[in-house]
Structure 1
Amino acid sequence: MNDDEGRKTTTDSRDGEDFRVPTSDFVDYLPYELNVTIFQYLDSISLCRASQTCKAWKNLIDDRSSLWRTCCQTMPDLSHVPPFGDGRLFKAYLSSYVVRCKVKSKWLSGEFSNVRAVSQLEREKMVPLGVDDWGEILQAEETRDTQTD
């Protein structure tokens, strides 16, 4: 059901009186460009969370490449992302970056220091890391080894 202005509503009955209750949020009420402007103020984590809120938000956020491009360009390892493509491309770069950072952080913290076989990592999500990342991880391991000796 829609109200007089075309917005989605549902009928609710309380105390025997029928009235219409809006079933949508600000995305349905505001102009598209204003919605995009609001989402531009979110950081990358908040933008990811917002895109998981509902289909309307997901579609708006995913379809707007400028939102994700801005997030990618603020990340040092993602500043090389080409300035073209749709929002899904930038979101994919950002998602893989976050996973890489988590894996690298676990290696650096020593969580995997005592791993002796691949089978010990079966439950862990692993991704390829760069040469610089592995150099940093090896230095951290050497430092841990010298501190235990």
Structure 2
Amino acid sequence: MPTGCKQTTPRRNKPPVAAGKKFSVPSEQNHKASPKDFVQLLPLEISLKIFSHLDIRSLCNAAMTCRSWNRTLETCDHLWKLHCLTVRALCQREIDRDRGNGYSWKVTLLRNYWKSKVKREWLSGKYSNICSRGSLPEKSMYPMDVDTWGEILEAELER
């Protein structure tokens, strides 16, 4: 099991299905999970392996899907760390500062993901030939610190 993940108690399998009919199960064996909730049905290691193949947006959506998935993703910082290190290529100062302030990898990623996308667009020159402020997409003005705007200005001056 990956480091930093809490082991949960294994859940019972869903009731058997025969000829399209579900058998009833005594109430003490029923659980609140949907029969299609693989996180509740599969061992934690397998669920985490499935989640590890998601991109950032899908991982965030998965965390909002249901309480079971959210609890699983909250306890496994390593899933967020992989994506956060990718974002760090553009936002090293911000990521390091957030980690130094004790933020989890998930919170650090959420705080810096859009900033990294906007910063990448600015640094790549996407907005170099904008004629007016009205031509800029709203997200291009994402709040960034002075040092980040300094990097962008330097890149523009070099073009």
Shorter-chain TM-score above 0.5: yes
1:92 aligned to 107, 114, 118, which one? 107
The higher-RCO structure (CA 8 Å, 6+ apart) is 2
Q: Partner letter of residue 105 of structure 2? A: F
Once residues 45 and 130 of structure 1 are traced to their aligned partners in structure 2, the CA distance between those partners, rounded to angstroms, is: 27
Q: Partner letter of residue 133 of structure 2? A: V
Give the TM-score, by structure 1 length: 0.58
Is contact 2:52–2:79 with CA below 8 Å preserved after alignment?
yes
List runs of 5+ in structure 2 lacking aligned partners. 1-10, 25-33
Is contact 2:62–2:69 with CA below 8 Å preserved after alignment?
yes
- Pairs aligned (count): 128
Is contact 2:80–2:105 with CA below 8 Å preserved after alignment?
yes
Change (3 A) 1:100 1:74: closer
Q: Partner letter of residue 91 of structure 1? A: K
Cα RMSD after superposing both structures: 4.0
Alignment match, 1:128: 144
Q: Is 1:52 paired with 2:52?
A: no
Is contact 1:110–1:141 with CA below 8 Å preserved after alignment?
no
Give the TM-score, by structure 2 length: 0.55
List runs of 5+ in structure 1 lacking aligned partners. 10-16, 144-149
Once residues 40 and 93 of structure 1 are traced to their aligned partners in structure 2, the CA distance between those partners, rounded to angstroms, is: 18
Whichever structure has more strand as a proportion of its residues is: 1
In structure 2, the residue corresponding to 1:50 is in which secondary structure? helix
Alignment match, 2:133: 115
Is contact 2:99–2:105 with CA below 8 Å preserved after alignment?
no
In structure 1, the residue corresponding to 2:36 is in which secondary structure? coil
Matches within 5 A, 1:32-43: 32-43=44-55
Q: Is 1:19 paired with 2:31?
A: no
1:132 deviates by: 4.5
Give the % identical residues: 25
Once residues 106 and 131 of structure 2 are traced to their aligned partners in structure 1, the CA distance between those partners, rounded to angstroms, is: 31
Once residues 41 and 18 of structure 1 are traced to their aligned partners in structure 2, the CA distance between those partners, rounded to angstroms, is: 34
Is contact 1:103–1:126 with CA below 8 Å preserved after alignment?
yes
1:52 deviates by: 2.3
1:94 deviates by: 0.9
